[in-house]
Amino acid sequence: MSAVTRPPNRLLQALPATEYAQLHPLLETVDLTKETALADAGAPVQRVYFPHGGVVSMMINLSDGQSVEIATIGRDGVVGAAAALHERPLLADAIVVVPGTASMVRAEDFREAANRSTAFRTLVALYEQALMAQTQQSVACNVSHPVEARLSRWLLRARDLCGSEALPLTQEMLAQMIGVRRNAVSIVAHGFQQAGILRYSRGHIEITDIDGLRRAACECYATVKAHAEQLIGPEED
């Protein structure tokens, strides 16, 4: 029997062949449409998503109407796994900020698959550790590092998740992602464009000097990447 072709998601790629063969019939490929909520904070998780591309932002809503990003998920992870596994509500909104596609599985099927497979449960647990490490690093970054470093860190992460230097993002969205006012992002983006690091127009940003962007980023980008590789292994090219 020929091997089943796997979608470009790091966790699905990492599953042993037997476990993936059992999960495969339960997966449905869906579009991740920009600004769609995949799950709402406080509500039961109905579906679990393994993104193939794009960016999903985990957002906390504050009483004053502001929203703060705590983590980004893409083809290196899964949305809603822990909440679905333990039949608990998600603690943050999961919002698509860069469109893509994903493998979707119903929460009850996800639980059954995890209950059948120790390897599956272990992989999910390791990913949740990596996600927690990312959340903690993001909080530390946003209170400690300048806007230039934070914006660079976020764009590098988005590039990794999308596999592209061209990102359909507005300055308003970027400001929300790193917790600053839009004018702060505008000033930094203008400086980066003058330095040849970025090219931007309304609703579109292109990274034109990846090495320059890496130099502008703080250590948080590399730290989060290293944590993920230590826990779930390096991403295949």
The pLDDT tens digits of the residues spanning 80-90 come to 999 999 888 88
- The yes-or-no verdict on residue 121 having pLDDT over 80 is yes
The pLDDT value recorded for residue 236 is: 59
129 neighbors 231 (Cβ within 8 angstroms): yes
Q: What mean pLDDT is reported for the chain?
A: 91
Residue in 162, 152, 140, 135 with CA at minimum distance from that of residue 58: 135
- Half-sphere exposure for 31 (CA within 13 Å, toward CB): 5
- The pLDDT tens digits of the residues spanning 142-184 come to 888 999 999 999 999 999 999 999 999 999 999 989 888 899 9
Secondary structure (H, E, C), 112-163: HHHHHCHHHHHHHHHHHHHHHHHHHHHHHHHHHCCHHHHHHHHHHHHHHHHC
- Hunting for tokens 């330095």 — which residue is that? 195
Query: Two tokens at 32?
Result: 């991740």
pTM exceeding 0.85: yes
